[in-house]
A and B are shown apart, each in its own frame.
Chain A
Amino acid sequence: MKPARFSYAAPTSMSEALALLAESEDARVIAGGQSLAPMMNMRLAQPELLVDINRIDGLSGVGLDAGSLVIGAMTRHADLAGNALVKAHAPVLAYAAGTIGHYAIRQRGTIGGSLAHADPAAQLPLVCMLLDARIDATSSEGVRTIEAADLFETLFTTTLEPSEMITSICVPLLEPGHGWGFRLFNRRAGDFAEVSAAAIVFNREGEAAVRLALGAIASAPFRADDLLPEFDPQDAGWPTRAAAIVAEAAPIEDNARMPADYRREVLQALLEDVLRDAMRRA
């Protein structure tokens, strides 16, 4: 399986990269190549021009800015998983990044690439939705900030323009009192999720709230806070009850490998664990 012919550019500055994206009819950014290269090898993608953003300085790394983590688009999954700031302020993101694919894949794949690729079963789109992340998309016209909830349109489709590049991801910090849960079900370690779920529970000084996001069961990950029954952090039976209610109500698409009924049962079991994990950690 070899890719079709393509032209290649490896700009060293943002302005060069953005000009190439603006000028070319059919250019694609290549970051880690862990999704684009397989698609090109299978000729599911045949871009005319690849704009390699690996040589542009300043696109990777994690910083703190005004109550948020600011994550460069080229930050690799392994570095996100191991980053001390991410572990301290958004542990669910670090944990989820460490579950992506396999060890070697995580050394190359990037957060920007994962979000732009928009696989409904991918970890980072799900967790970015859960955390109310904001995504900075840059083109030669300027920077546009997109709420994670508005980025994912459907299967492998985002609201990014072809001339836009994700440059950074801004994740609000989780303050004390927040607990998290993330679980996925796959058939083999490293495979994409068949069902995935992530939750954040906030429980402090009489205030309580819960957020929930579900992945892999529909054409895009989605927030499911509204499907949850009223949250009672004192009620030890709440996760079991909530899991049953959400699993019953969640829209689940059929898929050739796994019928919806089966996925619904898996979802219920995952949800119970995820909600329990989040309550325990809060």
Chain B
Amino acid sequence: MIVEAYERLPIALTVNGRSYDVTVEPRRLLSDVLREDCGLTGTHVGCEHGVCGACTVLIDGRPARSCLTYAVQMQGASITTIEHHGASGELSALQQALHERHGLQCGFCTPGIVMTMQAWLDENPEPTEEGVREALSGNICRCTGYQNIVDAVLVAAGRQADMRKAGK
């Protein structure tokens, strides 16, 4: 089946476990649909060509640029945005560490960094500083100079390890 260029297709988007009924033409970017149609404005938009990382969300559990994805592609997929992190009312270990270590100033890059680095930490639970820096290279921060973000990610990794040891 072809969705024509001017056609608007009704789709059900699953975001943070909730279903959103949206109507999109094929060229609508997932980032725009999340912000404008779902009202989930935590996903930020910077460069719109995959470089800055501000729009990073999880697609089926893996980090992805929502500005390089069309919403029509996401029928049946499970999307996780930064709003998921606030859902419990408590900050995650990574968010808490970013807060304490001054890992953000304006905060524009922060949602993308949390989405990327949480997924990366889950895969790399005992990171080196070099590893953190490499993983962070896909997220541009215009304010902090990265040192504090790197510190925060390492602190969060340590706390997550402690929580694992404590069996939580």
Contacts and interface: CB of A to CB of B under 8 A. Distances in A.
Interface of A: 1-10, 20, 30, 33-34, 37-38, 41-42, 48-50, 52, 54, 78, 101-105, 107-108, 188-190
In this complex, the member of A9, A48, A52, A190 whose beta carbon has the largest number of chain B beta carbons within 10 angstroms is: A190
The 4 A-B residue pairs whose C-beta atoms are closest, nearest first, are: A102-B138, A8-B26, A189-B137, A37-B68
Majority SS at the chain B contact face: mixed
Contacts of B4: 7
A1 B1 CA distance: 27
Interface string B1-39: 111111100000000000000000111010010000000
B48 A189 contact: no
B48 A105 contact: no
A8 B3 contact: yes
Given A4-B27, A6-B26, A41 B67 contact: yes
B137 A190 contact: yes
Interface in B47-86: 48-50, 53, 56, 59, 62-65, 67-70, 72-73, 75
A1 B65 CA distance: 14
Interface in B117-140: 119-120, 133-135, 137-139
A102 B120 CA distance: 11
Contacts of B137: 102, 188-190
B72 A8 contact: yes
B64 A103 contact: no
11 contacts: A3-B27, A6-B27, A9-B3, A30-B73, A34-B68, A37-B69, A38-B68, A102-B53, A104-B63, A104-B65, A189-B133
Contact of B138 (A5, A8, A104): A104
